Amino acid sequence: MAGQQREVTLRFLAEPTDQNFGGKVHGGAVMKWIDLAAYACAAGWSGKYCITAYAGGIRFVQPIHVGNLVEVNAKIIYTGRTSMHVAIDVRARDPKQTERHLTTHCIVIMVAVDDAGRPSEVPQWEPETAHDIYLRDSAMRLMDMRKKIGTEMEAHVRGEPGEST
């Protein structure tokens, strides 16, 4: 469909203000970049303001060093009625070199909202390639797993049996 952007890549240099006490880029900075890319992707697809509903399965594979050129790629892999599942890959490299390495990846669920903050319908995405079908099916399996995890997490919200919260 015209005007819909399924994928976006943000690029920038990791700055000294992004580093942790160990001298590498801290996870909180990476998570912020992930959220920014997920928003840009979801807004580009839906044409609406979007909010983060879930970020899960974050895997920090390799550290990012201050001064690295960082690329955060976000791609729609599933759409519900009002939600969009966005696959995120973070890659980094020394700007003097050409080889990038995967540093982080995860799935973020964004929800489009209207001016009153209520969920708003989004254009549906249909996979066309075998790889896109695989990604969509994976997103659907992850939805089922999240439901089970949510049920288990209720015990942590409620506290001990017989304990008032």
CATH of the domain at 90: 3.10.129.10
Is 157 contained in some domain? no
Is 158 contained in some domain? no
Residues contacting residue 12 through CB under 8 Å, at least 6 positions apart:
69, 70
Task: Say how many domains are in the chain.
Answer: 1
To which H or E segment does residue 37 belong?
A: helix 27-46
Is 105 contained in some domain? yes
Taking 70 as the pLDDT cut, the residues of the chain under it are 1-3, 159-165
Nearest to 8 by CA among 93, 110, 95, 103: 110
Please report the pLDDT score of residue 147 as a whole number.
83
Is 155 contained in some domain? no
Amino acid identity of residue 15, one-letter, is E
Please report the pLDDT score of residue 1 as a whole number.
45
Output DSSP code: residue 100: -
Please report the pLDDT score of residue 4 as a whole number.
83
Q: What does DSSP say about strands 49-60 and 7-13: parallel, antiparallel, or unpaired? A: unpaired
Q: Which domain holds residue 27?
A: 7-125
Is 111 contained in some domain? yes
Is 114 contained in some domain? yes
Please report the pLDDT score of residue 2 as a whole number.
42
CA pair distance 33, 98, nearest whole angstrom: 22
Please report the pLDDT score of residue 148 as a whole number.
81
Please report the pLDDT score of residue 27 as a whole number.
94
Is 150 contained in some domain? no
